[in-house]
Amino acid sequence: MDIYIPVMLSGGFIFLLLFLFGVISFKFKIPSVIVYILLGIVLAGFIGDSELLHLIGEIGIVLLFFILGMEFPIKQLLKVARKVTPAGTLDVLLNIGITMIIVYLFGLGLIESLLIGGVVYATSSSITAKMLENSKRMANPESEFILGLLIFEDLVAPVLVAVLVGLTAGNGVTAGSFAVLILKVIALTAGAILLGQLLFKKLENFFDRYLTTDIFILLVIGIALAYGGLALMLDLSEVLGAFLAGIMIAEVRKTEQMEKLIVPVKDLTLPLFFLWFGTTIEFGEGVPMAGLLAVLVLWGIAAKLAVGIVGGRMYGLSRKVSLRAGFSLVQRGEFSIIIAALAATEVMIFSSVFILATAVTGIILFQFAPKITNKFYPNKQAQKVKLPG
């Protein structure tokens, strides 16, 4: 006999479960992203077909990247990009370029190779920032480099997602369609910059007048969702649209006040995206392409170590600090999940296992990074000076 369960009751149980598993992740210092994905895998049989869950989760992702965009007015973006570009370029070449070659040599197609390259590419911003804070390493010299590299990845990844959305739409890949796709990205970006400079920069008094009212949050979230929706209308990614909307509204110079309004809504909806992603994972007959998976997990670790060591030296860090940075970059997370969600079932399962494996490995390496680097570069002990007599 079928039992009718009201949507509100189901929603209440889901939030209670998310809270319970969030407490577990907090207590054992496990990133909540991993815990929510695992919970989604367990609950897939019950909530796997929920469009409402997917929609609310997407709102969470949109708000996450809208907030990221608000951190970067145009001038600040250019400044950060200039300093970290050499290391960021190396990151793209190793984690996307070489990964694509490896995957292609294993017999997969060009689009699948690019998808998996995208999954391997980005270090998790949320996991890394949280661990830097929890481990009290935010004041360490490598932290500026790590955060700068994450910013670079946060700029590249939405564009990569937008390109992948276009290429996976099923229309085939031609030079013409690719050129149109890039033009759409440029037009969407130019529109955000122009609106930011010509409109929002002049609305400071308007924002001051309504910022403390209870209706202002409707305007801010409306802008984020509308520009994200415009991106979808252009067959691009809502993530790119949301990020650009954040850059656009950052010109008002009220980021801190607006974040206080948006963060609670983001914290309420974002876990549902990771939960939804977990429900899409069906292992079926097991993990596909196990050989390629093992190779890419090892390569994913080695590539991020190389970015830390070589890129850190380009940035001006010492050998020891660069190595410590490398051991702190292995964990993949939210962007890899977004890209994996674009893939067909087999590649999605493959990518999901890769994300979980590198996230767990990355957390362990991050926690032991100071001890490992001290083994390679021991702290110099002060020499004892004998006094005469």
Q: What percent of the chain has pLDDT over 90?
A: 39
Residue with tokens 């979980």: 356
Contact (CB, 8 A) for 123 and 96: no
Whether residue 36 is predicted with pLDDT greater than 60 in this model: the reply is: yes
Q: What is the mean pLDDT of residues 301-327?
A: 94
Tell me the pLDDT tens digit for each residue of 213-238: 989 999 999 999 999 999 989 877 78
Whether residue 1 is predicted with pLDDT greater than 60 in this model: the reply is: no
Checking phi first, is residue 94 left (phi over 0); if not, alpha (psi -120 to 50) or beta?
alpha
**What is the three-class DSSP state of 62?**
helix
Contact (CB, 8 A) for 68 and 262: no
Identify the band that residue 18 occupies on the pLDDT scale cut at 50, 70 and 90. very high
Q: What is the DSSP secondary structure assignment for residue 252, as one 8-state letter?
A: T
Maximum separation of any 2 CA atoms in the chain, in Å:
96
Tell me the pLDDT tens digit for each residue of 241-258: 898 899 899 989 888 889
Whether residue 269 is predicted with pLDDT greater than 90 in this model: the reply is: yes
* 301 token code pair: 């670790």
Distance CA 258, CA 268 (A): 16
Distance CA 40, CA 272 (A): 9
Identify the band that residue 173 occupies on the pLDDT scale cut at 50, 70 and 90. low
Distance CA 59, CA 112 (A): 27
**What is the three-class DSSP state of 330?**
coil
Tell me the pLDDT tens digit for each residue of 117-162: 999 998 988 788 777 877 778 788 888 889 889 878 877 877 787 7
* 112 token code pair: 């699948």
The pLDDT, as a whole number, for residue 14 is: 94
* 44 token code pair: 């897939």
More confident residue, 370 or 178: 370
Mean pLDDT of the chain: 86
| Most confident of the following: 26-40, 118-132, 156-170, 291-305 | 291-305
Q: What is the mean pLDDT of residues 96-111?
A: 94
The pLDDT, as a whole number, for residue 24 is: 92
Identify the band that residue 185 occupies on the pLDDT scale cut at 50, 70 and 90. confident
More confident residue, 23 or 169: 23
Contact (CB, 8 A) for 34 and 360: yes
Whether residue 381 is predicted with pLDDT greater than 60 in this model: the reply is: no
The pLDDT, as a whole number, for residue 147 is: 82
pTM for the model stands at 0.77
Contact (CB, 8 A) for 322 and 142: yes
Whether residue 177 is predicted with pLDDT greater than 90 in this model: the reply is: no
- How would you class 151 by CB atoms within 10 Å of its CB: exposed for 0-12, middle for 13-18, buried for 19 or more? buried
Q: What is the mean pLDDT of residues 18-24?
A: 94
Identify the band that residue 172 occupies on the pLDDT scale cut at 50, 70 and 90. low
More confident residue, 126 or 349: 349
Nearest Cα to Cα of residue 278 among 81, 62, 33? 33
Whether residue 382 is predicted with pLDDT greater than 50 in this model: the reply is: no
Q: What is the mean pLDDT of residues 72-83?
A: 75
